[in-house]
Amino acid sequence: MAVITGGASGIGRACALEMARRGADVVIADLDERRMASVEGEVRAIGRRALGVRCDVSRDADVEALAARALGGMGRVDLLMNNAGVVVGGPLEEIPMSDWEWIVDVNLLGPVRGVRAFLPHMLERGSGYIVNTASFAGLVPHNPRTIPYDTTKHGVVGFSAGLALYLRPRGIGVSVLCPGYVATNLLERARLHGETAAGMPDAVVTPEELAPKVVEAVEAERFLILSQPEHARIWARRAQDVDRHIRRQLEVLAGEGRG
């Protein structure tokens, strides 16, 4: 059985359906009860069991209750995908502390809560798999208007890397998903300041294209999941000479009038 937070929409929904097609029962945890019910129906139409649980990943009690309901209602948890996420954007000086606290609580502490709630069960069995959804912006920041988002996603990458070292020897796999822009409903809940919304680039990948890559990476126990091959090259270039990379990014941003 797979548990997916943020499973009612976008990447989480596509992964829920892909996993169901490959034989998994799915627990969908989300704030959006209408979309969650619709995904439950889609999973059942594939012929697998589905359980929707209303859950706010920024609340300890909700995530603990999610683990209790998933384990009580569906038995063994084979995979936990900490995927729920939100966006805060805008000029840094216009972003209030309350938005920083919100995005850290959802994007970074959400996965921490998920792992804390489900890990005892996985450790007891000595098996299981954790996928944390970060972003390519968690490896290479490229938009000076999404600093809170990029900060939390760097945190998710670091958390996941540490988890891989801690959990692989205990029989538990870990991957981190770092896609570029994906066509989803992510901006619906976004807290955007200034003219950030107008400055968001178009998505180049659909959730349906991304979901099989996630499942294949889990099957291969591959840590880093990217959406586009060129991202591996960009990341490697940055690691080789980070100052040169930042200078080049500044030139590009200045050319776009966003510097």
Number of residues that bind ligand NAD (CB under 6 A): 31
Per annotation, catalytic residue among 129, 149, 166, 181: 149
**Rule CB under 6 A: is residue 12 a binding residue for ligand NAD?**
yes
Query: Given candidates 18, 25, 30, 99, which one binds ligand NAD under the rule CB under 6 A?
Result: 30
- 166 tagged catalytic: no
Given the complex with ligand NAD, which of 170 and 222 has the nearer CB atom? 222
Nearer of residues 164 and 227 to ligand NAD, judged by Cβ: 227
Binding window for ligand NAD (CB under 6 A); candidates: 55-63, 114-122, 216-224, 250-258: 55-63
Please, which residue, 123 or 209, has the CB nearer to ligand NAD? 209
What would the two tokens of residue 208 be? 């349906």
H-helix segments, the chain: 10-21, 33-46, 60-74, 97-103, 109-125, 147-167, 207-219, 229-240, 242-255
- Report the relative pairing of strands 26-30 and 191-192 from DSSP bridges: unpaired
Binding of ligand NAD at residue 6 (CB under 6 A)?
A: yes
CB 12 within 8 A of CB 83: yes
217 binds ligand NAD (CB under 6 A): no
Site for ligand NAD in 163-182 (CB under 6 A): 179, 181-182
Per CB under 6 A, 196 contacts ligand NAD: no
Buried b (16+ CB within 10 A) or exposed e, 186-198: beeebbbbeebee
Q: First vs last Cα of the chain: how many Å apart? A: 46
Nearest Cα neighbor of 69 from 29, 32, 40 is: 29
Rounded to the nearest 5 degrees, what angle is found at the Cα of 223, between the Cα atoms of 220 and 225?
A: 85
CB of 132 to ligand NAD, least distance (A): 9
List the interface residues with ligand NAD, window 69-88 (CB under 6 A). Answer: 83-86
Count of CB atoms situated within 10 Å of the CB of 222: 13
Q: Contact positions toward ligand NAD, by CB under 6 A?
A: 5-6, 8-12, 30-32, 35, 55-58, 83-86, 106, 133, 135, 179, 181-182, 184-186, 188-189, 203
